[in-house]
């Protein structure tokens, strides 16, 4: 398959759609959320995550603001749709699965749980874009570890 086909696959409708109309855009007031800024200065991509946690460590609500390439913004947008409400342990597992999918290494626990995110698999053919796809996810991971747990 020529690379231009791979590219089409990478930028499938879903991803272009998320990048053009990102879901869960915006922020919460500072005292009611964890705010994590991630950037990749070498390409100018930026993601600001605003996350509200439940008592049990699961995510009650999440928004983001950002700028950058289609991959970084779409990946973050898809992420915010995916992680709301599910238990902390499962989010951590999801982050790992997503990383394995994008890097094409390790084992994905159950690709079923990834859903739409499975589309990011196409990144494997574009290794220099991996950091774009993971930018928001790395922020989420930091947020999970920095959130005070009871």
Partner 1 sequence: MIDLSHLRADFPILHQQVNGQPLVYFDNAASSQKPRAVIDSLVHYYENDNANVHRGLHALSNRATDAFELARDKVARFIGAGSPDELIFTRGTTESINLVANIWASEFLKPGDIILYTGMEHHSNLVPWQLAAQKSGASVKHIPVLEDGTLDLENIDALLTEQVKLFTCVHVSNSLGTINPVKELCTKCRVLGINTLIDGAQAVGHMSVNVQDIGCDFYVFSGHKMCAPTGIGGLYGRAEVLAKMPPWHGGGEMINLVTLETSTYKAAPARFEAGTPDIAGVIGLGAAIDYLETIGIDRIHEHGAALTRYAMQRLTELPGIRILGPTTADRGSLTAFHLACAHPHDLVEFANTHGLALRGGHHCTQPLMKRFQIPGSSRASFYFYNTSTEIDRMMEILHRAVTFFS
Contact residues toward partner 1 (CB under 8 A) are: 2-4, 6-8, 11, 16, 41-45, 67-71, 126-129, 132
- Burial pattern 56-82, b for ≥16 Cβ within 10 A else e, equals ebbbebbbbbbebbbbbbbbbbbbbeb
CB of 7 to partner 1, least distance (A): 5
CB of 105 to partner 1, least distance (A): 17
* CB-nearer residue toward partner 1: 33 or 71: 71
CA nearest neighbour of 17 among 116, 121, 124: 116
* CB-nearer residue toward partner 1: 2 or 112: 2
* CB-nearer residue toward partner 1: 17 or 116: 17
* CB-nearer residue toward partner 1: 19 or 101: 19
CB of 59 to partner 1, least distance (A): 27
Crossing angle, helix 70-83 and helix 130-146, to 10 degrees? Answer: 40
CA nearest neighbour of 59 among 69, 67, 50, 46: 50
CB of 79 to partner 1, least distance (A): 18
d(CA 89, CA 17): 29
């Amino acid at each position: 398959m020529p690379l231009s086909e791979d590219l089409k696959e990478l930028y499938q409708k879903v991803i272009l759609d998320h990048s053009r109309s990102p879901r869960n855009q915006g922020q919460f007031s500072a005292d009611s959320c964890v705010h994590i800024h991630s950037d990749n200065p070498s390409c100018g991509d930026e993601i600001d995550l605003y996350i509200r946690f439940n008592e049990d460590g699961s995510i009650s609500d999440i928004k983001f603001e950002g700028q950058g390439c289609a991959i970084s913004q779409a990946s973050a947008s898809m992420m915010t749709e995916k992680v709301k409400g599910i238990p902390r342990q499962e989010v951590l597992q999801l982050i790992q699965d997503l990383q394995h999918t994008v890097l094409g290494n390790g084992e994905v626990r159950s690709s079923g749980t990834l859903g739409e995110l499975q589309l990011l698999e196409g990144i494997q053919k574009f290794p220099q874009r991996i950091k774009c796809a993971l930018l928001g996810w790395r922020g989420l991971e930091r947020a999970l570890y920095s959130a005070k747990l009871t």
